[in-house]
């Protein structure tokens, strides 16, 4: 493997590691290699790979297994002790575990850990660290944190100033394998603060989270239903991704009454064709009989063509509603008054959660999506401050805001309502 100079330096670091990086620089690749070599060199140890969700944790865990399989095949136990999705056992007595943290880290408590690896560490709640760090006490263990920043608060931010860690910072612009044309496009598309966080790997003080850990923990309490209940009022919110995007989500809400709305299903598809997405919406509608279907049909989204086709379908044409991330009029008499539809929908969702009127699924991916939503006031010189809402894992949140908006504004679909 041809390593960048900074990756070679990471391999040589002993003790606690704080790796702060821009997106797509190869941080998980080098940490997985480093973890594999540690596991081979240190017998009878417990290595724990964690992240907010199982999906995130498994991505790094899978890279560790791939490297071990390629270079140390004979060290991997076979038969009844062969690798699983959550554990690799080595012939030297070391085992490598992979677990999601969720909001509390409860499932990780009780282990004695020699090496703790936290992927996307900025998104792991502080409560998790308070639960898990004591697991390193008896073993005098080591912790490796790797992440793109998410604001300037929390454990990952605090440890950036901790002298017991070796600190490595690599931006996407410093990566030798960078795609300069892509970075130039992102620099034009994003605000300076967004670009600084995602690609320069900087802690940005202007950013705040829209949904706090407290709200997420209090709201995400429902288990999935085993059946679809008939004669209920269901709403579907879709995030259909921008051109070239890959995550498509369908979020289903059940409105019992004005102050009681339940999140009953969250479905995420990866890299689906437009025709497949249309078919999936129609299949879901046949199962749930939605009262309204909200999709983003703004410019540059897959929703444009999907909306056109759904409007030709007899079963869906009176149900589908375009809820775009664009400006709309404050009222239908004065088109000069503008506000951003996306922000309206997000704050409507926040209001429902704060009041306890909407209960969400107890699902790590749902929690991560909400936790990733940030906002800033973009104060460009000579312009009025503009509120921007954004994030790196917002696809589920984007589906939820549309379903929630329809559930609240259903009677007349009056999008000018206060």
> What is residue 93's predicted lDDT score, i.e. its pLDDT?
97
Share of the chain above pLDDT 90, in %: 63
Number of helices and strands in the chain (H, E): 13, 19
Element (H, E) at 196: helix 192-198
CA distance 6 to 174: 10
The answer to whether the CB of 391 falls within 8 A of the CB of 372 is yes
Residue pLDDT, tens place only, 79-106: 999 999 999 999 999 999 999 999 988 8
Between 338 and 359, the higher pLDDT residue: 359
What is the arithmetic mean of pLDDT over 315-343? 66
Nearest to 64 by CA among 24, 23, 21, 34: 34
Give whichever of 177-186, 355-364, 370-379, 404-413 has the largest mean pLDDT.
355-364
CA distance 94 to 47: 8
Would you say residue 326 has pLDDT above 60?
Answer: no
CA distance 334 to 341: 16
Please tell me whether residue 235 adopts helix, strand or coil conformation.
strand
CA distance 218 to 354: 9
CA distance 216 to 380: 32
Class of domain 213-408: alpha beta
DSSP string, 333-351: S-TT-EEEHHHHHHHHHHH
> What is residue 330's predicted lDDT score, i.e. its pLDDT?
44
What is the arithmetic mean of pLDDT over 327-339? 48
In this prediction, residue 365 has a pLDDT band, given cuts at 50, 70 and 90, of very high
Would you say residue 397 has pLDDT above 90?
Answer: yes
Share of the chain above pLDDT 70, in %: 89
**Domain parsing of the chain, residue ranges:** 5-198, 213-408
**Sole residue written with tokens 């140390």:** 72
What is the arithmetic mean of pLDDT over 383-403? 86
Between 334 and 286, the higher pLDDT residue: 286
What is the CATH architecture of 5-198? 3-Layer(aba) Sandwich (3.40)
In this prediction, residue 332 has a pLDDT band, given cuts at 50, 70 and 90, of very low
Residue pLDDT, tens place only, 28-43: 999 999 999 999 999 9
Between 382 and 135, the higher pLDDT residue: 135
Tokens representing 270?
């990866």
């Amino acid at each position: 493997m041809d390593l960048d100079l900074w990756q070679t330096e990471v391999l040589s670091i002993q003790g606690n590691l704080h790796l702060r990086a821009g997106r797509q620089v190869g941080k998980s690749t080098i940490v997985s290699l480093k973890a594999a070599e540690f596991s081979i060199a240190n017998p009878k140890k417990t290595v724990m790979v964690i992240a907010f969700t199982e999906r995130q944790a498994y991505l790094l865990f899978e890279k560790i297994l791939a490297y071990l399989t390629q270079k140390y095949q004979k060290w991997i136990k076979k038969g009844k002790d062969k690798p699983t999705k959550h554990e690799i056992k080595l012939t030297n007595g070391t085992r490598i575990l992979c677990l999601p943290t969720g909001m509390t880290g409860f499932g990780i408590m009780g282990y004695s850990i020699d090496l703790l690896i936290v992927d996307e560490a900025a998104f792991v709640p502080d409560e998790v660290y308070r639960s898990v760090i004591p697991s390193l006490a008896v073993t005098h263990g080591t912790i490796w944190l790797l992440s793109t920043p998410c604001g300037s608060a929390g454990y990952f931010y605090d440890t950036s100033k901790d002298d017991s860690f070796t600190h490595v910072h690599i931006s996407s612009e410093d990566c030798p394998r960078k795609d300069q044309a892509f970075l130039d496009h992102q620099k034009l598309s994003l605000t300076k603060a967004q670009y600084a966080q995602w690609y320069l790997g900087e802690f940005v003080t202007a950013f705040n989270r829209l949904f706090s850990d407290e709200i997420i923990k209090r709201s995400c309490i429902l288990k999935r239903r085993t059946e679809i209940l008939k004669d209920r009022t269901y709403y579907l919110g879709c995030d259909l991704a921008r051109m070239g995007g890959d995550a498509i989500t369908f979020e289903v809400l059940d409105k019992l009454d004005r102050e009681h709305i339940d999140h009953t299903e969250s479905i995420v598809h990866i890299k689906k064709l437009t025709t497949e997405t249309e078919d999936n919406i129609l299949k879901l509608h046949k199962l749930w009989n939605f009262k309204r279907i909200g999709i983003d049909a703004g410019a540059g989204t897959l929703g444009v063509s999907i909306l056109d086709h759904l409007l030709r379908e007899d079963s869906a044409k009176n149900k589908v509603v375009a809820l775009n991330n664009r400006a709309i009029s404050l009222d239908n008499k004065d088109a000069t008054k503008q506000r951003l539809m996306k922000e309206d929908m997000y704050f409507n969702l926040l209001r429902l959660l704060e009041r306890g009127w909407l209960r969400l699924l107890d699902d790590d991916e749902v929690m991560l999506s909400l936790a990733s939503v940030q906002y800033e006031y973009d104060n460009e010189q000579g312009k009025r401050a503009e509120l921007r809402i954004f994030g790196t894992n917002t696809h589920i949140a984007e589906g939820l805001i549309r379903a929630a908006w329809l559930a609240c504004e259903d009677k007349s679909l009056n999008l000018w309502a206060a």
